[in-house]
Chains A and B, each alone.
Chain A
Amino acid sequence: EAGVVQSPRYKIIEKKQPVAFWCNPISGHNTLYWYLQNLGQGPELLIRYENEEAVDDSQLPKDRFSAERLKGVDSTLKIQPAELGDSAVYLCASSLSLAETQYFGPGTRLLVL
């Protein structure tokens, strides 16, 4: 069974540019999460989806970050415009349902210059 797929794996952009990350969860997983992981830190939740509905986006900086999960499967996370402090690893995870184990993708490492 394929795991959580994320692309791109690495991205280098200049500040003020837009960037987008894509996530394909494990087939059949209704719950999808986006996490931010800064260097030397643990993952921090940005947003959680139940099917196509964002049910917890309290940690998402809505002035520059946006996310969508059309049709309740794939999801994209966008930053516009990117700032130097956005350099981090962006992890996507999915689970069968809310209470089930979360499975993480390999992450997208973003470097903003």
Chain B
Amino acid sequence: DQQVKQNSPSLSVQEGRISILNCDYTNSMFDYFLWYKKYPAEGPTFLISISSIKDKNEDGRFTVFLNKSAKHLSLHIVPSQPGDSAVYFCAARGAGTYKYIFGTGTRLKVLA
């Protein structure tokens, strides 16, 4: 049972446009969410996080939106750059557990 789902395995976007990566979850007890970026042959690197008490968190070109009623979060990258091409994982943590459940990842390709 996949508790964190990234239904789009891949996404292509033109440089300078917005990239929107989506993530759905099923467990209403999740209270903290993160996005990681992964380049080939490297480990995932932390990108941005959001607590369930917020609905938006912004860091430069990266913004994460959380819709708790829909159990949905999204990562917006504006403007997209070729260096953003990577696999993006969303992860969720249950309240008091400190155990992260990762999605299957979305491969973003930003076309120059």
Q: A residues touching B (Cβ–Cβ < 8 Å)? A: 4, 40-45, 48, 56, 91, 93, 98-99, 101-107
Contact = CB atoms under 8 A, between A and B. Distances in A.
Of B4, B9, B41, B43, the most chain A CB neighbours within 10 A belong to B43
A106 B43 contact: yes
Contacts of A56: 99
A42 B38 CA distance: 11
30 contacts: A4-B43, A40-B104, A40-B105, A41-B102, A42-B89, A42-B91, A42-B101, A42-B102, A42-B103, A42-B104, A43-B89, A44-B102, A45-B99, A48-B98, A48-B99, A56-B99, A91-B43, A99-B98, A101-B34, A101-B46, A101-B49, A102-B46, A103-B46, A104-B36, A104-B45, A105-B43, A106-B41, A106-B42, A107-B42, A107-B43
B91 to A, nearest CB: 7
List 5 A-B pairs, minimum CB-CB distance, nearest first: A42-B102, A104-B43, A98-B98, A104-B44, A101-B46
B85 to A, nearest CB: 18
A45 B100 contact: yes
B48 to A, nearest CB: 11
Contacts of B99: 45, 48, 56
Contacts of A91: 43-44
Given A56-B99, A98-B98, A99-B98, A42 B105 contact: yes
Nearest to B39: A106
Of B9, B91, B99, the most chain A CB neighbours within 10 A belong to B99
Nearest to B6: A42
A43 B103 CA distance: 8
Contacts of A4: 43
Nearest to A40: B104
Contacts of A107: 42-43
A9 to B, nearest CB: 8
Of A43, A101, A104, the most chain B CB neighbours within 10 A belong to A43
